[in-house]
Amino acid sequence: MSEPEAELDFELAKQQLTEFSARGGALVSGVADVDDFAAAPEGFRPQDLLPGAKRVFVVGGSPPRAGDWVSPKHEHQETMGTSDRINSLGLKAAKFIEASFGYYALFVPPGVNKGNQPFLSVALAAELAGCASPSLAGPLLHPKHGMLYYSAIVTTCPLPIDGRAEPACPAPACLDMWEAEGTTPCMKVCPIDDGGCLGGDIVEGRFANRRYNTARCATRVHTHWVPGFQKGLEAALDEEDPEKRKMILYSSFFTRTLWSMTYASQSQAQCYECMRVCPVGAEERTLR
């Protein structure tokens, strides 16, 4: 008769997974309960991707380096992609869960499903796992590291849950600025009422009445990559003059869209201005 299977120590398992992730480059990690995803529409919840799912494990890290942030050449950060490192770690963590604990673990694909919709909101997962909290500017913020990139793994393994983190935004410096000027660094750099994307208030130390122009932001943030290629292709095919068409196809814009899509792993995001002025995580971006 075979020995009964030993019960997995889930606390220890989480510790091992956390250490594995940290060794792989994660700056933060956390666990969310799948039941907390009720706010997500049906079809975009963890159980829709993996029957019997119990938790979502999230790893965060691979932000632009401090040196990237201080480069005076804006094209540098526009083309230096760092986010794919966290996706590689996400798949490794999923394989680690299956190989070490014997539970199913599904790496949430970082690409999009039909209609440019993600399979599951990784931002929501990171928030529910306590890795970071929402900000006035939009990106999730970790209190120490500021903006990070995230990868999510849906699993049947009932790891201990972390729960939401305390809000990192607005930072104390932003509260002071709000009291003095009625704005914050992020809203000042990109004001929604002055051609920008961000607006809102601070009420009792918390941000409120947030306004965000998604469409405007997208046209500034995602200027290259797949949508840039589609836009360039459309313009080229609509152009009847062969010389002009040739110029479009060999233009810097079209060339950069091709680079951004392919193996060069270039950044998909080209505007970081709201994050550049954000005091959350600024210490991590300040070196000698």
Partner 1 sequence: MEIEASASEDTGREGLLPSAPVCEAGKKAGALIVGVAAANAFNEYVPEGHRPEDILPGAQSVVVAGNQGPTAAAWRSPDHRVMEITGYDFRENVAVHVMCDFIEREYGYNALQAPSLPTAGHHPPMSMMLAAVLAGLGTRSLAANIILHPEYGLLYYAALVTTLPLEPNHVLQKDACPSPSCVQMYEKLGTTPCLASCPKDEGGCLEGEIDEDGRISYSSYNRERCHSRSMNFGVGSVQKSLVDIVAEEDQDRRKSMIYSDFFSQSLSSLSFYKESVAQCFECMRVCPVGQNHKRLK
Binding site for partner 1 (CB under 8 A): 48-51, 81, 84, 87-88, 91-92, 94-95, 98, 102-107, 109-116, 119, 154-157, 225-226, 229-230, 233-234, 237-238, 261-266
Instruction: Tell the smallest beta-carbon distance from residue 26 to partner 1 (Å).
Output: 15
Instruction: Tell the smallest beta-carbon distance from residue 233 to partner 1 (Å).
Output: 6
Instruction: Tell the smallest beta-carbon distance from residue 267 to partner 1 (Å).
Output: 10
Q: From CA 13, how far away is CA 55, in angstroms rounded?
A: 13
Q: Are 17 and 96 in contact (CB under 8 A)?
A: yes
Q: Are 29 and 21 in contact (CB under 8 A)?
A: yes
Query: By C-beta, is 167 or 227 nearer to partner 1?
Result: 227
Instruction: Tell the smallest beta-carbon distance from residue 239 to partner 1 (Å).
Output: 11
Instruction: Tell the smallest beta-carbon distance from residue 130 to partner 1 (Å).
Output: 23
Query: By C-beta, is 250 or 263 nearer to partner 1?
Result: 263
Instruction: Tell the smallest beta-carbon distance from residue 98 to partner 1 (Å).
Output: 5
DSSP label at residue 112: B
Q: How many of the other CB atoms lie within 10 Å of CB of 22?
A: 14
Q: From CA 40, how far away is CA 61, in angstroms rounded?
A: 24
Two structure tokens written together for 213: 């122009």
Query: By C-beta, is 60 or 134 nearer to partner 1?
Result: 60
Instruction: Tell the smallest beta-carbon distance from residue 107 to partner 1 (Å).
Output: 6
| Helix spans in the chain (H) | 10-23, 46-49, 66-70, 74-79, 84-101, 122-128, 172-181, 185-189, 214-221, 226-238, 242-249, 252-261, 273-276
Q: From CA 41, how far away is CA 18, in angstroms rounded?
A: 29
Instruction: Tell the smallest beta-carbon distance from residue 192 to partner 1 (Å).
Output: 26
Q: How many of the other CB atoms lie within 10 Å of CB of 120?
A: 23
**Tokens 């599951």, residue?**
120
Query: By C-beta, is 115 or 172 nearer to partner 1?
Result: 115
User: Integer distance in angstroms from the first to the last C-alpha of the chain?
Assistant: 64
Query: By C-beta, is 104 or 253 nearer to partner 1?
Result: 104
Q: Are 187 and 136 in contact (CB under 8 A)?
A: yes
Query: By C-beta, is 204 or 238 nearer to partner 1?
Result: 238
Q: How many of the other CB atoms lie within 10 Å of CB of 226?
A: 15
Query: By C-beta, is 87 or 184 nearer to partner 1?
Result: 87
Query: By C-beta, is 154 or 278 nearer to partner 1?
Result: 154
